[in-house]
């Protein structure tokens, strides 16, 4: 199964910032996997993101781990060396899209305008990150954008929570939703692994309801 399909099957992608990867990466990976969410976008917003990716993969080898907030080719190289399987960028950067194609790693660029979508089309991309989702028009804009660009599936991130997850996932254009509600700083810093697992389980229930309803 390719990465797009694996992400779509899971339905939610935790967006993670780890300030202490040596302490937290392994137990976090296990907590997410135990909750039925064996995927993570580890952001380069914190130093040591590549370390976190490596440690999460070591703890849970079957987990799908990618790198987020990737801004440079150096970030891409570090992510790949650590074992990342996909790259997520906050905006659309043609240089990074070309570089990831060269390195044969999946990239999900942040796209919120017709210009972004049009540029992504030239790279043959199938799934786009829509960021920041709520602040950029949310589901209404995603649906409007799908009219001229029906070939794309979308992964909205930004402002997603348990409250609006079902609404987003009920839309056939949505591949999966990115979110940090199940991996907040409080939950991670205080080692609330059981709470993270519970939030993942609740998310999985909503994914099933949205997809089957």
Quick: pLDDT tens for 116-151: 999 999 999 999 999 999 999 999 999 999 999 999
Environment class of residue 19 by beta-carbon count within 10 Å: exposed (0-12), middle (13-18) or buried (19+)? middle
In a domain, 60, yes or no: yes
Q: Which of 102, 126, 129, 208 is catalytic?
A: 129
The torsion of the CA quartet 182, 183, 185, 191, rounded to 10 degrees, works out to 100
Dist. CA 41–CA 171, nearest whole Å: 22
pLDDT at 45: 96
As beta bridge partners, residue 195 has none
Does 167 participate in catalysis according to the annotation? Answer: no
Total number of domains in the chain: 1
pLDDT at 1: 67
In a domain, 21, yes or no: yes
In a domain, 99, yes or no: yes
Provide the 3-class DSSP secondary structure of residue 118: helix
Q: Give the domain range for residue 14.
A: 3-203
pLDDT band with cut points at 50, 70 and 90 for residue 174: very high
Average pLDDT, the chain: 97
Provide the 10 A C-beta neighbour count for residue 104.
7
In a domain, 184, yes or no: yes
pTM over 0.85: yes
In a domain, 210, yes or no: no
In a domain, 211, yes or no: no
In a domain, 209, yes or no: no
Does 41 participate in catalysis according to the annotation? Answer: yes
Q: Which of 17, 22, 41, 209 is catalytic?
A: 41
Mean pLDDT, residues 182-211 taken together: 98
Dist. CA 17–CA 28, nearest whole Å: 11
Mean pLDDT, residues 106-118 taken together: 97
Closest residue by Cα to residue 156 from 174, 140, 183 = 174
Mean pLDDT, residues 28-46 taken together: 98
Question: Residue 7 sits in a domain of what CATH number?
Answer: 3.20.20.70
Closest residue by Cα to residue 13 from 81, 88, 109 = 88
């Amino acid at each position: 199964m390719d990465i797009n399909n694996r992400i779509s099957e899971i339905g939610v992608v935790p967006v993670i910032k780890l300030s202490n990867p040596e302490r937290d990466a392994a137990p976090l990976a296990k907590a997410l996997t135990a909750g039925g969410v064996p995927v993570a976008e580890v952001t380069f917003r914190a130093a040591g993101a590549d370390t976190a990716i490596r440690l999460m993969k070591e703890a849970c080898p079957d987990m799908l781990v990618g790198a987020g907030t990737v801004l440079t080719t150096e970030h891409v190289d570090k992510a790949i060396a650590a074992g990342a399987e996909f790259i997520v960028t906050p905006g659309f950067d043609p240089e990074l899209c070309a570089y990831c194609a060269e390195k044969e790693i999946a990239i999900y660029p942040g796209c919120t305008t017709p210009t972004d979508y049009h540029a992504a089309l030239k790279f043959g991309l199938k799934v786009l990150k829509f960021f920041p989702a709520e602040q950029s028009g949310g589901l209404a804009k995603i649906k409007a954008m799908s009219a001229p660009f029906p070939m794309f599936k979308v992964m909205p991130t930004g402002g997603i929570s348990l409250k609006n997850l079902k609404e987003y996932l009920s839309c056939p254009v949505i591949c999966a939703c990115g979110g940090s509600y199940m991996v907040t700083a409080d939950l991670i810093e205080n080692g609330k692994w059981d709470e993270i697992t519970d939030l993942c389980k609740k998310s999985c229930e909503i994914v099933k309801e949205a997809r089957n309803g």
